[in-house]
């Protein structure tokens, strides 16, 4: 083969394919030679080289334009930030601090006895507003330690907490609190509690504005008066009473730290004291709060070392419809009248009504005089194991003799008999009512037998017969069935040498630390001193005997017993009825033969309980302008 046989440029055929002498092409037919055509090793190399050239060119372009693009992004970011800041500034200026919710403005009215012991409350919300000055500093610091340790220095919001709450809302996670004390106050008192981004944003704006326009003390006061503590108590004052039975101003360091610890999960921690598991968990949090207080200097190391977890009142509380409601009814009616408002306005007004009642004596009366139902059969009453039917014990005979001076007949009757007991104790010459027992169960009988019940007088009014009585006792002897309160007032007039004192149950009314009303005895002469002495002579038997006792009755239907001296008048009235059944109305019934001993037991027990509370007092050393010259001040006159 010679050189003419080779086409070196592919020009002969114009195909661009080099043909060698053996007749094979370089492109390589399938299965022939090492080449694979255009996509063989050479083709891939050229492709990769092209890609590298393009990447290099792109990198060069990126380097050349990077600065320009960064400047554009920065301008966009700054514009966006400026818009956000502008929107926030506009929103801040347009945001108004709303008025508190109507329910947060509502308060309950609390009733306390003459010693300040909690009696009960009236109102839709268990809350009483008090100034921050009535909350001890250590209680304020405990709440700050538990809820927001940066409260005194922050701007009213916590950005981290807001972000955490927002993320929880968006991601569907557990609801997050997050709020500073300012935010909590805004949420609880000024806004709705729903967890939405728009509400959270508004909360933050209002909190910032509130922090800039109100003092920290104002914000803390609003928070402490509205935050929920469990046990139905909104605000620190109600919480102090519900958990410890004291006013907020009397909370100890340990008690204040315990209440601050409750705020975190009030519906759970409210059971502390009755649930061991809850109590143990609260103790841990309580110690954490105290440690923080000690670290910040809010309490001393000695106070921290001496702190002991406080005892909580039992929860849940007992029945509130017991006989104490009779006292609250009487005091609420009188308090509303003294303030010139309705009882509904009183209940919602956040007042504290200090009554004249002695709660210890009242509770003792309830134990001694609780109404009962006694079963009667065709047999005569008085049947007991080991006794003949109708036969009395020696003690019962002695009690009957002492109580009435005569033997009460044994009554043959059938069915159930309910014995009603009404008890009134008041201060002669002053009118303060210490005991007003009108029934054992307000829920089943809201009618107050002591204040409103008409009880047949019978011989109970005989000592006043033939006397010239002045108002308001003018028609006393013509009254067939006086109320126990009125009859007690008549005997109190005799005890005060003829000076009648209008009975009252409200000693003082305050609100937010300000006194709105304070009682003073309202007295007038209702009988002559000589007539009052005649009553005393009839009752005492001798003038130097004390106390005097008078027993009266209306047949077998009622029994009265009044005991008095210059310091106290106590009246006990008993009557009986067959309770109503179905459409059948209640009917009067004879008193059982035990009525005499019951009356005596109540009278002596209540008398000793009340007089016993005055041990150590010297009435002669305490003048009382409501009494005649020479008469000493009643032992339990209004404090």
**C-alpha closest to that of 490 among 480, 504, 500:** 500
Residue partners of 493: CB distance under 8 A and separation at least 6? 428, 473, 499, 500, 501, 526, 527, 532
Q: Is 193 exposed, middle or buried (0-12, 13-18, 19+ CB in 10 A)?
A: exposed
Query: Can you read off the two tokens belonging to residue 62?
Result: 């990126």
Residue 314 phi, psi dihedral angles, 5° rounding: -60, 140
Distance CA(425)–CA(505), nearest Å, equals 11
Say what angle helices 159-171 and 197-213 make with each other, to 10 degrees. Answer: 170
pLDDT value of residue 310? 95
pLDDT value of residue 513? 81
Distance CA(20)–CA(203), nearest Å, equals 89
Distance CA(302)–CA(479), nearest Å, equals 68
pLDDT value of residue 65? 76
pLDDT (tens digit per residue) in 219-256: 999 999 999 999 989 999 999 999 998 999 999 999 99
CA distances 626 to 211, 430, 567, 639, Å, are 54, 6, 13, 14
Distance of CA 341 to the CA centre of its chain: 23
Distance CA(261)–CA(268), nearest Å, equals 11
Whether 286 has a pLDDT exceeding 50, the answer reads yes
**C-alpha closest to that of 184 among 264, 241, 117:** 264
Say what angle helices 137-147 and 276-296 make with each other, to 10 degrees. Answer: 110
Contact in structure between 576 and 417 (CB atoms under 8 Å): yes
Residue 424 phi, psi dihedral angles, 5° rounding: -130, 130
Residue partners of 66: CB distance under 8 A and separation at least 6? none
Contact in structure between 495 and 564 (CB atoms under 8 Å): yes
pLDDT value of residue 583? 80
Residue 499 phi, psi dihedral angles, 5° rounding: -90, 115
pLDDT value of residue 70? 80
Residue partners of 57: CB distance under 8 A and separation at least 6? none
Average pLDDT (621-637) is 36
Q: Around Cβ 134, how many Cβ atoms within 10 Å? A: 17
Q: Around Cβ 63, how many Cβ atoms within 10 Å? A: 9
pLDDT (tens digit per residue) in 192-223: 656 666 667 777 878 888 888 899 999 999 99
Contact in structure between 292 and 144 (CB atoms under 8 Å): no
pLDDT value of residue 386? 37
The DSSP letter of residue 186 is: I
**C-alpha closest to that of 199 among 211, 188, 210, 212:** 188
Determine how β-strand 352-355 pairs with β-strand 109-112: parallel
Distance CA(305)–CA(301), nearest Å, equals 6
Distance CA(263)–CA(227), nearest Å, equals 8
pLDDT value of residue 272? 87
Query: Can you read off the two tokens belonging to residue 78?
Result: 């700054």
pLDDT value of residue 161? 64
Average pLDDT (155-160) is 78
Q: Tell if the pTM clears 0.75, that is, is over it.
A: no
pLDDT (tens digit per residue) in 30-74: 444 454 555 566 777 778 887 887 887 777 777 777 777 787 778
Lowest mean pLDDT among 166-170, 456-460, 569-573: 166-170
Give the helix/strand (H/E) hosting 479: none
pLDDT (tens digit per residue) in 8-37: 444 444 444 444 444 444 444 444 445 455
**C-alpha closest to that of 400 among 563, 564, 599, 540:** 599
Query: Can you read off the two tokens belonging to residue 353?
Result: 């009504």
Contact in structure between 624 and 375 (CB atoms under 8 Å): no
Q: Is the peptide bond before 174 cis (omega within 30 degrees of 0)?
A: no
pLDDT confidence of 89, banded at 50, 70, 90? low
Residue partners of 311: CB distance under 8 A and separation at least 6? 273
Contact in structure between 460 and 560 (CB atoms under 8 Å): yes
Name the 3-class secondary structure at 569. strand
Distance CA(413)–CA(379), nearest Å, equals 8
Task: Tell whether the torsion through CA atoms of 157, 160, 164 and 170 is positive or negative.
Answer: positive
Say what angle helices 236-244 and 253-262 make with each other, to 10 degrees. Answer: 110
CA distances 538 to 501, 545, 551, 603, Å, are 22, 11, 11, 19
Q: Give the start-end residues of each E strand in 219-347.
A: none
**C-alpha closest to that of 209 among 237, 185, 174:** 185
CA distances 224 to 122, 140, 205, 228, Å, are 21, 8, 21, 9
Mean pLDDT, the chain, integer: 79
Distance CA(29)–CA(44), nearest Å, equals 18
Average pLDDT (366-395) is 48
Distance CA(139)–CA(132), nearest Å, equals 10
Q: Report which of residues 192 and 554 the model is more confident about.
A: 554
Distance CA(364)–CA(589), nearest Å, equals 27
């Amino acid at each position: 083969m010679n050189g003419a046989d080779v086409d070196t440029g592919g020009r002969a055929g114009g195909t661009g394919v080099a043909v060698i002498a053996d007749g094979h092409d370089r492109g390589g037919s399938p299965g022939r030679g090492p080449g694979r055509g255009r996509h063989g090793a050479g083709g891939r190399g050229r492709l990769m080289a092209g890609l590298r050239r393009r990447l290099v060119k792109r990198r060069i372009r990126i380097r050349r334009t990077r600065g320009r693009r960064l400047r554009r992004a920065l301008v966009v970011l700054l514009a966006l930030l400026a818009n956000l800041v502008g929107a926030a500034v506009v929103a801040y200026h347009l945001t108004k601090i709303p008025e508190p919710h109507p329910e947060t403005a509502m308060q309950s009215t609390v009733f306390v006895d003459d010693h300040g012991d909690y009696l009960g409350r009236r109102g839709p919300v268990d809350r009483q507003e008090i100034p921050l000055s009535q909350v001890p500093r250590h209680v304020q610091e405990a709440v700050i330690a538990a809820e927001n340790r940066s409260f005194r220095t922050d701007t009213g919001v916590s950005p981290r907490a807001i972000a955490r709450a927002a993320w929880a809302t968006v991601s569907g996670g557990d609801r997050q609190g997050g709020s500073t004390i300012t935010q909590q106050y805004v949420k609880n008192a000024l806004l709705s509690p729903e967890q939405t981004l728009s509400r959270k944003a508004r909360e933050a704006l209002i909190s910032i504005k509130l922090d800039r326009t109100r003092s920290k003390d104002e914000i803390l006061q609003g928070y402490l008066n509205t935050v929920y503590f469990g046990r139905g108590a909104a605000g620190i004052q109600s919480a102090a009473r519900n958990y410890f039975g004291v006013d907020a101003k009397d909370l100890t360091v340990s008690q204040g730290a315990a209440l601050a610890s409750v705020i975190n999960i009030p519906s759970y921690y409210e059971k502390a004291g009755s649930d061991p598991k809850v109590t143990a968990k609260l103790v841990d949090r309580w110690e954490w709060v105290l440690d923080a207080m000690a670290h910040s200097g809010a309490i001393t190391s000695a106070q921290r070392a001496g702190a002991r977890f406080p005892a909580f009142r039992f929860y849940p509380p007992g029945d509130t419809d017991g006989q104490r409601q009779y006292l609250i009814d009487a005091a609420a009616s009188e308090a509303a009248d003294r303030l010139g408002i309705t009882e509904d306005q009183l209940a919602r007004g956040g007042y504290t009504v200090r009554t004249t009642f002695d709660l210890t004596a009242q509770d003792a009366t309830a134990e001694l005089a609780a109404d009962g139902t006694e079963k009667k059969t065709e047999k005569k009453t008085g049947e007991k194991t080991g006794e003949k039917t109708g036969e009395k014990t020696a003690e019962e005979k002695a009690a009957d003799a002492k109580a009435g001076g005569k033997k009460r007949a044994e009554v043959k009757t059938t069915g159930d008999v309910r014995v009603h007991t009404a008890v009134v104790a008041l201060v002669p010459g002053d009118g303060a009512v210490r005991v007003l027992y009108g029934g054992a169960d307000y829920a089943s009988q809201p009618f107050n037998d002591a204040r409103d019940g008409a009880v047949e007088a019978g011989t109970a009014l005989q000592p006043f017969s033939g006397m010239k009585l002045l108002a308001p006792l003018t028609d006393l002897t013509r009254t067939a069935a006086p109320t126990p309160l009125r009859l007690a007032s008549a005997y109190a007039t005799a005890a005060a040498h003829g000076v009648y004192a209008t009975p009252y149950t409200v000693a003082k009314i305050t609100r937010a630390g300000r006194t709105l009303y304070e009682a003073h005895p309202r007295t007038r002469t209702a009988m002559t001193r000589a007539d009052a002495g005649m009553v005393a002579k009839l009752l005492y038997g001798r003038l130097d005997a004390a106390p005097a006792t008078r027993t009266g009755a209306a047949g077998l239907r009622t029994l009265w017993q009044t005991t008095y001296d210059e310091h106290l008048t106590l009246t006990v009235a008993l009557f009986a009825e067959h309770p109503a059944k179905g459409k059948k109305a209640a009917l009067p019934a004879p008193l059982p033969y035990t009525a005499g001993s019951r009356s005596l037991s109540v009278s002596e027990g209540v008398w000793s309980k009340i007089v016993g509370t005055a041990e150590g007092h010297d009435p002669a050393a305490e003048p009382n302008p409501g009494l005649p010259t020479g008469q000493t001040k009643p032992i339990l006159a209004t404090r």
